[in-house]
Amino acid sequence: MGTAIVVTSGKGGVGKTTSTANIGTALALLGKSVCLLDADIGLRNLDVVLGLENRIIYDIIDVISKDCKLEQALIRDKRFEHLTLLPAAQTKDKSILSPETVKELVGALKELHDFVIIDCPAGIELGFQMAVSGADRAIVVTTPETPAVRDADRVIGLLEKEGIRNPHLVVNRIRPQMVKRGEMLDIDEIVQVLAIDLLGIVPDDETIIKNANKGEPTVMKPDSKASLAYRNIARRILGESVPLLSFEEAPGFWGKMKKVFGAK
Amino acid sequence: MLDSERLATDSKPNILLKGTKEGLLLLLNEVVSFESLLEDLSTLIHGEKKSLFEGPDLKISVDYGERVFAASEIREILDCLAKRENLILREWGPSTAAKLSLFNSSRKFGPQTLLKGTVRAGQRPVFEGDVVVIGDVNPGAEIVASGDIYVLGRLRGIAHAGFLGDWSAIIAAAEFAPMQLRIADIVSRAPERDGKPLRTFMEFAYLKEDSMAVDKLDSLHAWTAMARQSS
């Protein structure tokens, strides 16, 4: 029996889908069997980020309406055998979906995998309730901006009401330079307001956009800070204690020279 | 010392002694026989605890509630009190001001609630009576009470005290950085902060002639006394 984790944020565009894809892939890299469930019904893009769009035949609606078997709809990732995706439907009638049916589906997926990662739609309406209904744990994604933190706070309150007591926080798109200059909300301040455990911080990284366009999760390439950040998050989910990344840039040639001469 | 037999039959003393701002207040039992009342009074003033009544002039008030005295009985009590020369009888009656002030000192508000945890954006808990929040009130959250609101954490959202129209309600917080404050039907907006650091000392908000005032928590005691006097 696996664990279902919902990735949610309230506000749109903070990186839920990217985080779902990367955390899921990172867990698969660590040898776990993972299913990514795209619960963003009507707007489907988890498959695009993973580069699996052209393999979709059946989707979540087909499974729930029993037009196909669950195993038929699961798309096996091209890189990892034990990473699968259950895509969202785009155009089909979604009235068949309800928190109860989604919960049942998540239960069935948990039988087959170590982890079921659910990509939650933005907002707090029915789509949110459905995505949350089957989850055992939650990851709240936010960015260091006041509106995103406000929505995350609201979502944490709603998660508590749904019985998910200890959501974890991922602060995405941090720009170390801006934080240094004091122009960005500080991590400590965000954690202080939201009062939940910090699972990880992910720097703003251009490679993420580049890789999303290519359909390759960033974690596949170990050379970027964002990739490392997501790998660390996956390790923390498995219970390892991994220190937070520091974003101090390694000093360049001139930086080293200055250090030698004691200049600031 | 009281003998054990009397202690068993009568657990409540016949004379209650209370200290007030204006001196001592003696509350006489209303139903017990006059003889035992007089005996207790005499023991109280001249017996074991007499040191309480020693020293310079001491104002006392005597409240006898519903009891009906004969004229001779009143004289006996006053004689008993007069044996101590430093006692000055300030008040004598069935419902003295000293007794009333005793009851007014605890506000007759409804229940008090302890709320543990963070009040988050979008939440709006409503309480009857006073509420103490052990946690933060986050921006975007609103906490409402018909009595006072005390936040043992950061108050960064909206607090509405005395929402049923109680003008004497107050809002206090360990870290006072509210978005908006409301007491009864008066609303006050937080001053624009433009980058200034948060004020981190304890403060409380109250109503002062139709408008809201904020003061350090040290002043709460003085304010309570003042508010009681005026009401």
Q: pLDDT by residue (tens digit) across A192-208? A: 999 999 999 999 888 88
* Lateral strand order in the sheet of B186-189: B126-127, B142-145, B158-161, B180-183, B186-189
pLDDT for B133 beyond 50: yes
- What's the whole-number mean pLDDT along residues A54-83? 90
Query: Could you say which of B63, B85, B104 is where a domain stops?
Result: B104
Instruction: Tell me the domain boundaries of chain A.
Output: 3-261
**What's the mean per-residue pLDDT of chain A?**
88
What is the percent of chain A where pLDDT is above 70?
A: 93
User: How many domains, in total, are found in chain B?
Assistant: 2
User: Angle at CA A230, nearest 5°, toward A1 and A185?
Assistant: 120
C-alpha B117, offset from chain centre = 28
B211 shares a domain with B172: yes
Q: Across chain A, how many H-helices and E-strands are there?
A: 12, 8
Query: Could you say which of B57, B79, B104 is where a domain stops?
Result: B104
pLDDT for B198 beyond 70: no
B28 shares a domain with B125: no
* Residue-number span of the structural domain to which B128 is assigned: 112-230
B95 shares a domain with B130: no
What is the percent of chain B where pLDDT is above 90?
A: 21
Instruction: Assess A250–B contact: CB distance below 8 Å, yes or no.
Output: no
B192 shares a domain with B221: yes
- pLDDT score recorded for residue A232: 93
Instruction: Assess B156–A contact: CB distance below 8 Å, yes or no.
Output: yes
| Burial of A79 (C-beta count, 10 Å sphere; 0-12/13-18/19+) | middle
- pLDDT score recorded for residue B201: 63
Assess contact for A86 and A68: CB atoms under 8 A: no
- pLDDT score recorded for residue A201: 92
A156–B120: do the CB atoms touch at under 8 Å?
yes
B79 shares a domain with B18: yes
B75 shares a domain with B163: no
- pLDDT score recorded for residue B221: 72
B12 shares a domain with B69: yes
What is the percent of chain A where pLDDT is above 90?
A: 48
* Lateral strand order in the sheet of B23-28: B15-20, B23-28, B58-63, B87-93
**Closest Cα partner for A59 from A73, A45, A44?**
A73
CA distance A59 to chain B (A): 34
- pLDDT score recorded for residue B109: 53
- pLDDT score recorded for residue B5: 39
CA distance B119 to chain A (A): 8
- Characterize the bridge pairing of strands B23-28 and B58-63: parallel
B201 shares a domain with B218: yes
Number of Cβ within 10 Å of residue A195's Cβ equals 16
Confidence of residue B7 (pLDDT cuts 50, 70, 90): very low
Q: Which residues contact A108 (CB under 8 A, 6 or more apart)?
A: A70
- pLDDT score recorded for residue B141: 95
**What's the mean per-residue pLDDT of chain B?**
79
B138–A151: do the CB atoms touch at under 8 Å?
no
Which among A150, A157, A193 is the nearest to B123, CB-wise?
A157
B154 shares a domain with B70: no
B127 shares a domain with B99: no
A195–B139: do the CB atoms touch at under 8 Å?
no
B204 shares a domain with B122: yes
Assess contact for A186 and A205: CB atoms under 8 A: no
CATH at residue B144: 2.160.20.70
Q: What is the pLDDT of residues A168-193, one digit of tens each?
A: 999 999 888 887 787 888 888 899 99
Confidence of residue B145 (pLDDT cuts 50, 70, 90): very high
Best mutation target, B118, B142, B156, B196, to test chain A (most A CBs within 10 A): B118
Confidence of residue A97 (pLDDT cuts 50, 70, 90): confident
Q: Which pair of structure tokens corresponds to residue A125?
A: 């309406």
Query: Could you say which of B83, B104, B125 is where a domain stops?
Result: B104
Q: How far apart are CA B137 and CA B182, in angstroms?
A: 14
B214 shares a domain with B164: yes
**Closest Cα partner for A119 from A220, A48, A215, A58?**
A48
Q: What is the complex's ipTM, to 2 decimals? A: 0.76
CATH number of the A3-261 domain: 3.40.50.300
| Burial of B227 (C-beta count, 10 Å sphere; 0-12/13-18/19+) | middle
